[in-house]
Amino acid sequence: MQLLGLGIEMAALFIGFGLLIGIPFGFFGMGGSFLVTPALLVVGYPAPVAVGSGLAFVFGTSVIGALRHRDHGQVSYPLAAVMILGMTVGIEVGTRVVFLLAKAGSADFVISVVYVGLLVAVGLFVLRDARSDGTDVGRGRIATVVQAITLPPMVSLPGGATVSVWVLLAVGSGIGVLSGCLGVGGGFLLLPIMVYGFGIPTAIAAGTSILQISVSGAFGTFVYAQSNAVDVSVVAALLVGSALGARIGTSATRLVNEADIKGYFAGLLLAGGIATASKQMGAAYGVGTLETVSAVLLSGTAVLVSGAIVTASINALRKNRELGLPY
């Protein structure tokens, strides 16, 4: 029996995995796509298809997210327009790099290594952020450096800062290259850059970054689909799960303090890095156990983080009910 063009077991697996990814995405506003490409690599899809399908998944998920943020007036359109321009150029460059690497036969290895590096780096950053009290002096320093570049034309941003258009284009291009190479939306980089570098309020930064990601995701999907490197069945199944998960995650933000769960999210990113490295080593040295470890680690931590968010939400609902508060 076929469901969404996949065998019933594979369809159920991808819908379930989408659900597990959607909950943290809805809750943290980032990280939804970061595990899809490694997961597809772990399952055995070739690197260009894993990246292309990852981008198509990012596109679908971020369209849903952008619609929700638009309803709340949390989008800065001028900022999104300039950065989308930079990201579009970057994605084109990143895509060419992937296909060049694929021709040379080293795409899987290079993409996996870059993934491991990024997942570990961002995981450690989030872990550090989770352990600090939010008064990091370094953040202010970054904003000062970025806003000191006064090459015209300048753009006024929500939050009061004025930033050079060239800075926005450069940042957009850099994130676009990563998107094109790795099949990620870039929210895990865009969000901190907007908040700490441009001084934009978090809610507007999240809404604007999701809008940018949806446009750049559409472009990335188009570029990869031209080479038939998007598995529509996998994307469709993942979206069915992630759209529901994202709703659950978004609702949980009204009940649970993000700081209480941030440590789990850092663990999810670090586990993603270890899983990708484990899979690559297993394939290189022919050790099947390492590939199994990789799959178990990836799905296990996703279950753990989603479970932590859902459990904390249910506990908060019960507490509100006991206290006679609206729930």
Residues interacting with other proteins, by CB under 8 A? 3-5, 56, 59-61, 63-64, 67, 218, 221-228, 230, 232-233, 235-236, 239-240, 243-244, 247, 314, 317-318, 321, 327
Q: State the minimum distance, in angstroms, from the CB of residue 206 to other proteins.
A: 17
**Both tokens of residue 311?**
């459990």
CB of 96 or CB of 318, closer to other proteins: 318
- Selection from 222, 181, 218 nearest residue 97 by Cα: 181
CB of 229 or CB of 275, closer to other proteins: 229
- Whole-Å CA distances, 304 to 119, 135, 312: 17, 29, 12
**Both tokens of residue 55?**
């981008």
CB of 72 or CB of 321, closer to other proteins: 321
Q: State the minimum distance, in angstroms, from the CB of residue 189 to other proteins.
A: 23
Q: State the minimum distance, in angstroms, from the CB of residue 31 to other proteins.
A: 18
CB of 214 or CB of 276, closer to other proteins: 214
Task: Tell me if 176 sits within 8 A of 93, measured CB to CB.
Answer: yes
The identity of residue 150, as a single letter, is T
**Both tokens of residue 85?**
């321009």
Task: Tell me if 302 sits within 8 A of 283, measured CB to CB.
Answer: no
Q: State the minimum distance, in angstroms, from the CB of residue 4 to other proteins.
A: 5
Q: State the minimum distance, in angstroms, from the CB of residue 274 to other proteins.
A: 30
Q: How far apart are CA 282 and CA 284, in angstroms?
A: 6
Q: State the minimum distance, in angstroms, from the CB of residue 187 to other proteins.
A: 16
Task: Tell me if 178 sits within 8 A of 184, measured CB to CB.
Answer: yes
Q: State the minimum distance, in angstroms, from the CB of residue 149 to other proteins.
A: 35
DSSP letter at 7 equals E
CB of 132 or CB of 311, closer to other proteins: 311
CB of 131 or CB of 318, closer to other proteins: 318
Q: Which class for 230: exposed (0-12), middle (13-18), buried (19 or more C-beta within 10 A)?
A: buried
CB of 233 or CB of 280, closer to other proteins: 233
Q: State the minimum distance, in angstroms, from the CB of residue 61 to other proteins.
A: 7
Which residue is it, tokens 């291009």?
A: 173
CB of 52 or CB of 272, closer to other proteins: 52
Q: State the minimum distance, in angstroms, from the CB of residue 248 to other proteins.
A: 9
Q: Which class for 1: exposed (0-12), middle (13-18), buried (19 or more C-beta within 10 A)?
A: exposed
**Cα-based angle 107, 111, 117 (whole degrees, multiple of 5):** 155
Which residue is it, tokens 């789990």?
A: 264
- Selection from 183, 152, 140 nearest residue 51 by Cα: 183
CB of 132 or CB of 226, closer to other proteins: 226
**Both tokens of residue 304?**
């753990």
Q: What is the CB-side half-sphere exposure of residue 50 using CA atoms within 13 A?
A: 24
